Structure 1
Amino acid sequence: MSLAAFPGLILYFLAILGASAAVTLLLLRRFRIIDLPNERSSHSTPTPRGGGLGIVIGFFLALLSIHLFGGNVLAAPLTTLHFAGFLLAALLIAGVSLHDDMAGQGYASKLLVQLIAVAMVMACGSLIEARQIPWLPDWLAWLRWPITLLWLIGLTNAYNFMDGLDGMAGGTAVVVAACFALICWQQGLPFLALAALAICAGSCGFLLFNWPPARIFMGDVGSTFLGFSFAAFALLAAGNAAPRLLLVMPLLLLHYIFDTVFTFCRRLLAGEKLTQAHRGHLYQLLNRSGLSHRSVSLLYAGLALAQGLAALWFSNATDDHARLWIFLPFLLGYTLLAFRITHQARRNGLI
């Protein structure tokens, strides 16, 4: 990255941050969608939600600015079928999630729309390839279809599940998007770097009003959009002559993925009704055990930063099989931490 590009990048970042903050403030003061506390909530008073719309609008304004001022080379990916499919699918997911924030609807209908959006992305050519997964033999290449489906649907909903504390989802999005932007720039993918930087800036604008104590919540419109966008970014990066980047996003969000999978398995083994609202995620147990919203959000943002540093090394390593070992220390650490948290939660009668 040349020094001459920094003033433009700073202006770009601040403009998106300002747009996101302005939309969030407008939602807070004029178009309030109230989140009433329920059995899954970590808040006790009615609070506006839907602030994630600022992130969505900031992102699309960023793409518009790239189209208008980025030049033919930088704006070229906007015209590709892969990215067009992602944009339409992201709009669809954001739209149905905003409707859910406003009116509420069954989970089955939201999942159906998500499946349609994912099918749209896959039909436009964004698909995990066998060569992008070092341990997948050629005769199992057909698994790329269900793996792609699981990745897109899974991360979309995992990010939604992890949006339960003030500053949690927004703080993590800032760190993950910033790290991914840096990696994409290093790997010669400036358009994706700017797209990720837009997510980072938009999340910063929203976080001004969501950092503990939150004045407004992200809502499904923000959390599902972020999860889906991060999942799609991995496919888009891997499809741009950089197949090793496919596993960068799973590494950047490993703590979110682990928390979601661990909680699902724990509840399944405990015989709990999986469709019932709960507060049994690891981050929720930490909060219910006495840690503040701020402390837990900072912890998860710190873990994202540690994973970001590992992802920087991962993206530049040359040995495909050796790179996979970077996941092991994180997985071991999270496993030990998870059993410690759940053991303490059982002693306290929280689960």
Structure 2
Amino acid sequence: MEYIIIAAAVLLFSLVYFRIANHYHIVDKPNRRSAHSEVTIRGGGVVYPFVFLVYLAYGQIFSEVHPEDYMLFGLGLFLVCAVSFIDDLRGLSSKVRLIFQFMAVLFLFYFIEAAPNTPAFLIPVAVVVTMGVLNAFNFMDGINGMSGLYSLVTLLSLYYINSSLTAFTDADFIVYPAIASIVFLFFNFRKKAVCFMGDVGSMGVAFWIAALAGTLIIATGELKWILLLAVYGVETVITIIERLRLGENIFKAHRRHLYQLFANDKGYSHIAVSAAYAGIQLVINILVIFSDLAGSVLIPVVMVLSVAAYVLVKRQVKKQISGSL
């Protein structure tokens, strides 16, 4: 019953936000780089900071959640979401965004107590990787259902790990963003989306997932859990390398991602492409969860196979596109 009430609250909040967004023209207008052709509400991902407030309020009243325990997480979440929402509205320079993302990640690291549990020389690497995760979600949020469905698969995988393998956090701290993802997908995972996640949503859910994954890695001492984000990681890194090689600004909009080639150039439906990405990540998650291989073996094996498969598929798709021109 609790989760139905939370879902209803998130749904109501979304409907109110849609009215406000329409009134103030917080919309995404399609351009030549867009994967859509309709004017659509932007910033639907505000459900993630909202559901965090609901988590604190409901938890304090009906369970043993103590808001002060989540203060650092909340500061980081609202910092990155606020800056991202401003960027959705008026646009900010990449330098400004990175500065605030860095500050938010520091709050996240204090929240998960990374410093006492991580060798000092690895902290800068972990900060860079975490900022990379945030921006990977932002880069990949380009077609209907993509980041909403991918986030849901990741959160449900984390929930299974937490409930069946290693209890590393309060279960509701995973369930609430999953509920927000389901409500968002109701409006987004369709041929003609009612709203887009926006930077506020992609950064918000990425920050939440990064906090959960970081907590899990510290609790278990296993780096293999980073593979729960393997699909986004592989595509983002390879695409960035490709764009740097071509001398492009990696923070500018583009259409070089494989999912963009499938959706825009090959004409596959957004629903099918998003479901395929989430499905591939789910298969990897199942392998990671149930495999007895140590992380030192599993990580390179999965990453090498993923990179090889991605490169081969992308090369073939590009050939097909070039041949049809």
TM-score by length of 2: 0.88
How far residue 125 of structure 1 moved from its aligned partner, in angstroms, is 6.0
2:197 alignment partner, one of 218, 239, 256: 218
Work out the CA distance in 2 between the residues paired with 1:211 and 1:144: 38
How far residue 303 of structure 1 moved from its aligned partner, in angstroms, is 1.3
2:12 alignment partner, one of 13, 16, 22: 22
Work out the CA distance in 2 between the residues paired with 1:337 and 1:156: 21
Question: 1:130–1:123: structure 2 CA closer, same or farther, 3 Å change rule?
Answer: closer
Equivalent residue for 2:240?
Answer: 264
Work out the CA distance in 2 between the residues paired with 1:63 and 1:237: 21
Q: Does 1:93 align with 2:80?
A: yes
Work out the CA distance in 2 between the residues paired with 1:201 and 1:234: 18
Q: Does 1:63 align with 2:56?
A: yes
Equivalent residue for 1:300?
Answer: 277
Q: RMSD over aligned Cα, in angstroms?
A: 2.5
Check whether the contact 1:289–1:345 (CA below 8 A) recurs between aligned residues. Answer: no
Check whether the contact 1:24–1:52 (CA below 8 A) recurs between aligned residues. Answer: no
Check whether the contact 1:251–1:327 (CA below 8 A) recurs between aligned residues. Answer: no
Equivalent residue for 1:146?
Answer: 124
How far residue 167 of structure 1 moved from its aligned partner, in angstroms, is 0.7
2:98 alignment partner, one of 106, 111, 123: 111
1:272-291 equivalences under 5 Å are 272-287=248-263, 288-291=265-268
Q: Does 1:180 align with 2:158?
A: yes
Whichever residue aligns with residue 170 of structure 1, its letter is G
Work out the CA distance in 2 between the residues paired with 1:232 and 1:297: 24
Work out the CA distance in 2 between the residues paired with 1:308 and 1:63: 29
Question: 1:86–1:161: structure 2 CA closer, same or farther, 3 Å change rule?
Answer: same
Whichever residue aligns with residue 75 of structure 2, its letter is L
Check whether the contact 2:21–2:27 (CA below 8 A) recurs between aligned residues. Answer: no
Check whether the contact 1:16–1:59 (CA below 8 A) recurs between aligned residues. Answer: no
1:234-245 equivalences under 5 Å are 234-239=213-218, 241-244=219-222
1:127-142 equivalences under 5 Å are 127=114, 141-142=119-120
Per-residue CA deviation, residues 69-110 of structure 1 (Å, 9 max, x unaligned), is: 113xxx25x544xx4322210111111111222232222211
Check whether the contact 1:152–1:231 (CA below 8 A) recurs between aligned residues. Answer: yes
Q: Does 1:338 align with 2:311?
A: yes
Tell me, what secondary structure is at the counterpart of 1:233? Answer: helix
Whichever residue aligns with residue 296 of structure 1, its letter is V
Unpaired runs of at least 5, structure 1: 1-10, 132-140
Tell me, what secondary structure is at the counterpart of 1:253? Answer: helix
How far residue 311 of structure 1 moved from its aligned partner, in angstroms, is 3.2
Work out the CA distance in 1 between the residues paired with 2:144 and 2:71: 33
Equivalent residue for 1:53?
Answer: 46
Equivalent residue for 1:309?
Answer: 286
Q: How many residues are treated as equivalent by the alignment? A: 319
Work out the CA distance in 1 between the residues paired with 2:195 and 2:205: 17
1:160 alignment partner, one of 127, 133, 138: 138
Equivalent residue for 1:137?
Answer: none
2:186 alignment partner, one of 208, 222, 235: 208
Work out the CA distance in 2 between the residues paired with 1:321 and 1:312: 11
Check whether the contact 1:184–1:190 (CA below 8 A) recurs between aligned residues. Answer: yes
Check whether the contact 1:163–1:169 (CA below 8 A) recurs between aligned residues. Answer: yes
Work out the CA distance in 1 between the residues paired with 2:149 and 2:311: 21
Work out the CA distance in 2 between the residues paired with 1:212 and 1:300: 16
TM-score by length of 1: 0.82
Work out the CA distance in 1 between the residues paired with 2:235 and 2:115: 24
